[in-house]
């Protein structure tokens, strides 16, 4: 059996932890050893004592944690200080999003370790380890858009749901996957006029049945342009498993938007689906281009670390158990991104 190590996340403002105490307890009851870096769960609301009570062993430093463990279970991709501690015999399990990180890809290949990415574990055509974070990111995207539409934050001053029959906020969501659906649901529930664009007519029909006043259209350059000219908020939520996101919202679309409108690119982990997007952080969440407020935070769900940690841990827990006992399902094998110096997925 492999020794499970959960390090503290080092990405800016990353407050999530990959495994919560109760799931660690369940792993320990199955005979696994679980090591937690000191303070790793603190910002998600899980102090060290809860992990000690669950039977985990606390390691005081990242170095101690990596040296003690074979299976490294993180939330986000390893940064330089993590990579320095990784070894050839490590099995890494986390979000990687290699399509947007050529330097990370090369670093992991040079380590000759094996890495399985949460976002490329596919079950019946779906991505169960990405889905919970996509749902959170979709809702947060609408919340961010609502906040930055306020005039005090540079927005055009639109109230998302309108009031007493006056004009409503106009929201366009490009991409009807899990993230886009949750963004649309929240905006719709707030009373905004919501349009969802996608190339999957069946999915659009399902959303229309759920939300009768929703406007749905096939996504292409012209329909995006028509929407851009009227939108207070555009949410970009396009995802292709493991690959770089296609740029479907062009700079011309952005230029056509009203001054003070907002765009949020959820696809930024996969390099973004908006031509004018660039990675943002929670500490510097926005920038302005062509008089449009942009936000593209690469670890958006970290804004809700307790909720995000709970749902992520529940999703990955059974797969962690499989990896720890070296029991490889077809889904886990298909989720391998790098193995012994070889790239195993198409970016």
Q: How far apart are CA 35 and CA 55, in angstroms?
A: 9
Question: CB neighbours (10 Å) of residue 92?
Answer: 22
Catalytic residue, candidates 90, 97, 253, 294:
97
Q: Smallest Cα–Cα separation from 128: which of 301, 337, 300, 332?
A: 332
Whether residue 97 lies in the annotated active site: yes
Whether residue 198 lies in the annotated active site: no
Q: How far apart are CA 274 and CA 276, in angstroms?
A: 6
Residues 268/244, Cβ–Cβ less than 8 Å? no
DSSP code, position 78:
P
Q: How far apart are CA 290 and CA 108, in angstroms?
A: 37
Beta bridge partners of 153: none
Question: CB neighbours (10 Å) of residue 187?
Answer: 34
Q: Smallest Cα–Cα separation from 268: which of 256, 285, 254?
A: 285
Q: How far apart are CA 144 and CA 160, in angstroms?
A: 12
Q: Smallest Cα–Cα separation from 318: which of 29, 26, 120, 57?
A: 26
Record the tokens describing residue 227, joined without a space.
């929407």
Residue 186 backbone dihedrals phi, psi, to 5 degrees: -65, -45
Catalytic residue, candidates 90, 232, 269, 294:
269
Alpha helices in the chain (DSSP H): 21-29, 48-54, 62-68, 80-83, 102-111, 131-148, 178-189, 201-210, 221-228, 251-256, 305-324, 330-334
Distances (CA, A) of 324 to 21, 60, 93, 319: 17, 22, 11, 9
SS3 for 331? helix
Q: Which amino acids are annotated catalytic?
A: 97, 269
């Amino acid at each position: 059996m492999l020794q499970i190590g959960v390090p503290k996340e080092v990405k800016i403002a990353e407050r999530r932890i990959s495994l919560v105490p109760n799931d660690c307890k369940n792993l320990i009851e199955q005979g696994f050893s679980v090591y937690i870096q000191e303070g790793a769960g603190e910002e998600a609301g899980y102090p060290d004592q809860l992990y000690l009570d669950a039977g985990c062993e606390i390691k005081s430093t990242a170095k101690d944690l990596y040296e003690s463990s074979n299976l490294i279970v993180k939330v986000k991709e390893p940064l330089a200080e993590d990579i320095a501690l990784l070894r050839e015999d490590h099995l890494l399990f986390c979000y990687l999003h290699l399509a947007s990180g050529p330097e990370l890809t090369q670093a992991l290949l040079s380590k000759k370790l094996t890495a399985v990415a949460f976002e490329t574990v596919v079950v019946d055509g779906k991505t169960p380890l990405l889905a919970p974070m996509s749902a959170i990111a979709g809702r947060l995207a609408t919340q961010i858009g609502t906040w930055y539409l306020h005039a005090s934050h540079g927005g055009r001053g639109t109230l998302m749901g309108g009031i007493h029959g006056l004009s409503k906020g106009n929201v366009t969501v490009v991409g009807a996957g899990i993230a886009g659906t949750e963004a649309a649901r929240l905006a719709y529930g707030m009373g905004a006029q919501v349009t969802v664009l996608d190339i999957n007519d069946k999915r659009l029909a399902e959303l229309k049945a759920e939300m009768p006043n929703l406007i749905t259209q096939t996504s292409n350059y012209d329909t995006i342009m028509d929407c851009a000219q009227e939108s207070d908020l555009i949410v970009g939520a396009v995802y292709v498993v493991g690959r770089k996101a296609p740029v479907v919202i062009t700079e011309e679309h952005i230029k056509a938007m009203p001054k003070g409108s907002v765009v949020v690119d959820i696809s930024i982990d996969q390099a973004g689906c908006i031509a004018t997007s660039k990675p943002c952080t929670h500490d510097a969440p926005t920038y302005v281009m062509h008089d449009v407020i942009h936000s593209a935070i690469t670890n958006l769900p970290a804004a809700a670390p307790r909720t995000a940690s709970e749902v992520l841990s529940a999703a990955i827990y059974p797969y962690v158990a499989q990896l720890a006992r070296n029991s490889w399902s077809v889904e886990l094998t298909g989720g391998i991104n790098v193995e012994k110096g070889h790239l195993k997925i198409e970016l």
